[in-house]
């Protein structure tokens, strides 16, 4: 077994695609409209779905806002240098929730950013 994808409901698909591709550097892997169900699915990621987990962005036509809820945690992305990655996100117009630095009660370097719909994304430094 393996993880295929994480699904997020988004209020503006074009805005979310710009964030995940332009700010986080993912690629749009596929996108399809489902007129009978009045929704669009777009899959983004850093590599082919056959080998890597991806993010499914679900846009329900006519719904422009969702609340992440108290049960949702975050998506985690491994990066070479958290300080640089957070600075790059900020320079591209991304929103930083927590600046890069050691995690609480630990030594791992992390930062948190936020996507356009308010979903937190953790940047975690590669472990040696």
pLDDT greater at residue 87 or residue 1: 87
How does the average pLDDT of the chain come out, rounded?
94
Instruction: Say which residue the tokens 């009978």 belong to.
Output: 36
Residues 43 and 82 in one domain: no
Residues 42 and 81 in one domain: no
User: pLDDT band at residue 105, thresholds of 50, 70 and 90?
Assistant: confident
8 beta partners: 57
Answer for the pair 15, 61: CB distance below 8 angstroms, yes or no: no
Question: Residue 95 maps to which CATH number?
Answer: 3.10.180.10
Q: Give domain status of residue 65, yes or no.
A: no
Q: Give domain status of residue 27, yes or no.
A: yes
122 is catalytic: yes
Answer for the pair 58, 41: CB distance below 8 angstroms, yes or no: yes
Q: Give domain status of residue 68, yes or no.
A: no
Q: Give domain status of residue 79, yes or no.
A: yes
Q: Give domain status of residue 114, yes or no.
A: yes
The pTM (predicted TM-score) of the whole model is: 0.86
Residue 80 is predicted with a pLDDT of 95
Domain that holds residue 40: 5-60
Residues 6+ away with beta carbon under 8 Å from 128: none
Q: Which is the catalytic residue, given 67, 78, 99, 122?
A: 122
Answer for the pair 9, 55: CB distance below 8 angstroms, yes or no: no
DSSP assignment of 14-55 equals HHHHHIIIIIT--EEEEEEEETTTTEEEEEEESS-TTTS-EE
Q: Give domain status of residue 39, yes or no.
A: yes
pLDDT tens profile 32-78: 999 999 999 999 999 999 999 999 999 999 999 998 887 889 999 99
- 49: closest CA among 116, 2, 103, 16? 2
Alpha-carbon torsion angle 75, 77, 94, 113, nearest 10: 50
As for how many domains the chain has, the answer is 2
């Amino acid at each position: 077994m393996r993880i295929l994808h994480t699904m997020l409901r988004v209020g503006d698909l074009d805005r979310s695609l710009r964030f995940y591709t332009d700010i986080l550097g993912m690629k749009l892997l596929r996108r399809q409209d489902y007129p009978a169900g009045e929704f669009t699915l777009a899959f983004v990621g850093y590599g082919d779905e056959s080998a890597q987990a991806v993010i499914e962005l679900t846009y329900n036509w006519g719904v422009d806002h969702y609340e992440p809820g108290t049960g949702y945690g975050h998506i985690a992305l491994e990066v070479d240098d958290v300080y640089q990655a957070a600075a790059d996100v900020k320079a591209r117009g991304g929103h930083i929730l927590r600046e890069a630095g050691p995690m609480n009660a630990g030594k791992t370097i992390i930062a948190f950013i936020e996507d356009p719909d308010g979903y937190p994304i953790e940047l975690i430094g590669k472990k040696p």
